[in-house]
Amino acid sequence: MAKFDYVIVGAGSAGCVLANRLSENPNLSICLIEAGGSDWSPFIHIPAGWASNFNNPSVDWGYHTAPEIELNERKIFWPRGKVLGGSSAINGMIYIRGVPLDFAAWEQAGLDAVKDFGLGKADYRVPAEWDLSQQNELIESLVGQGYNAVLVFPGDAVGTNKILGELDDAGIPTAALAGCVEQPTQAKFCFGTDTGHSAYLGTKELIKALGGKGKIAHFTGFLVDPNTTLRINAVEQAVSEAGGGVEIIQVIADIDAYEPADEKINAFMAAQGSEVDGIVTTAWVPAVVAAQALTNMGDKRIKMVGIDHDEVVLKAIKDGYVHGTMLQNPYGQGYIGSYVMDKVRQGCEFKADAPWKSTAQTDQFIDSGTVFVDISDVDTYVMAMRGISLEILETFDSTYLNCPS
Residue 71's pLDDT is 67
Please identify, in words, the CATH class of the domain defined by 195-327: alpha beta
The pLDDT assigned to 218 comes to 97
CATH architecture assignment, domain 100-193+329-368: 3-Layer(aba) Sandwich (3.40)
Three-state secondary structure call for residue 63:
strand
- How far is it, in rounded angstroms, from Cα 148 to Cα 170? 10
pLDDT at 163 over 90: yes
250-253, long-range: CB within 8 Å, 24+ apart, which pairs?
250/217, 250/218, 250/276, 251/217, 251/218, 251/220, 252/217, 252/218, 252/219, 252/220, 252/286, 253/219, 253/220, 253/221, 253/222, 253/223, 253/228
Q: Where in the chain is the domain with CATH 3.40.50.2300?
A: 100-193+329-368, 195-327
According to DSSP, the residues that pair with 64 across neighbouring strands are 77
Report the C-alpha dihedral over residues 370, 374, 380, 381, rounded to 10 degrees.
Answer: 20
Range of weakest confidence among 126-130, 256-260, 286-290, 293-297: 126-130
Name 387's Cβ contacts closer than 8 Å, sequence gap at least 6.
none
pTM beyond cutoff 0.75 = no
* Mean residue pLDDT across the chain: 88
Pick the closest to residue 338 from 114, 103, 108, 104 (CA basis): 114
pLDDT at 377 over 80: yes
Which helix (H) or strand (E) is 207 found in, with range? Answer: helix 195-209
- Please write the tens of the pLDDT for every residue from 26-75: 899 999 999 988 887 777 877 767 677 777 888 888 888 888 766 677 78
